[in-house]
Structure 1
Amino acid sequence: MTSDEEAFRRMVRGSEAAFAELFDRHSGAVYRYSWGLAESRDEVADIVQETFLVLWRRRKEIRLAGHSVLPWLLVCCRNTAYNHNRARRRSPAGELTEPKPGTHAWHRRVEQEQAVEELAWVREEIAALPDTERRLCDLCLIEGLSYDEAASALGISPSAARKRIQRARGKLRAAKTANL
């Protein structure tokens, strides 16, 4: 695990993996903090998501006060929660109704829930891969590096990188088949 400063520097350069690392490291604290600030428990996840979205969008403008991104995230979370609370007071929402089965909205909601479940499953399976294969997946799939660039970053040959990616794909296919 790298320090916040190092991950933050990589994120400023556009690394989505570094952003994911910071999210994994601090989302729990931001969630707990927003839980205490939100007037509606339904908005807690939205506040956390918006806080990290602001981190990503403003990453080139942010200056860390210390060695951690967490203080900045908590201040941003507080401001986001206050904005949500103000908006809620200005225009109270009507009652939400569940989409009716068979409607377009219902099908879209089911598809979204299935996509979220599958993404979580894929992330778990990738996390269970051996370290080099997992890192190759991160570099190629998340950061968008070519096999050659990823191989260079990991200090292995491009042919070894291709073989390891092929092996990882096979393991993911086998795991998916086993789960069906």
Structure 2
Amino acid sequence: MTGYRESTDLQLAALLSQGDRSAYTEIFERYSRVMYVYAKNLVRDKDEAEDMVQDVFTSLWDKSPRLELKGSLSSYLYSAVRYKFINLVAKKRVRTDYAEAFQLLIDEGDYNIDSYINEKELLALIEKEVAKLPEKMRKVFELSRNAGLSHNQIAQQLNLSEKTVKNHINHALKVLRGKFEVAFIMVYLLSK
């Protein structure tokens, strides 16, 4: 089909669901700036807004074979940006809660892990659990935590997308949180 600029959103969505890259490009050209302004008004941070919009459009392409719009394309995109914002707020709140809990532990003088378990034993236990992670996730996690590489550096080294790297790290931390208390994980991460 030619004339993507003249196509309606509904036509573009139908073409997108068939894997049409030109339709995707037209949707991106049509909506990326507007979504960026909307995201920036939500987060008040240029980089966060750019990341959110990039994630939304990456997700749109990834989900394109299964894309079923119940409303307009613009409503779908606005909802996706809003959803990313809600997730971002939730993650920041969780991070803040962990940091506050760890700081409270230190401030109250309860940071005496030796009375509960020897720190070296704890680190060995966490290392053992890290070793049980799926191979790719383990490599990504170790490059991040042990080698101190950025998400971008890991992505380049392992030929992955930065989003995949971020997902591997988040999932690894989720697995570890399920097995150990937050304070122990913080000790492990800070010991690197």
Query: TM-score, length-normalised on structure 2?
Result: 0.44
Report which of the two structures shows the higher radius of gyration computed on alpha carbons. Answer: 2
Q: Which has the higher helix share?
A: 2
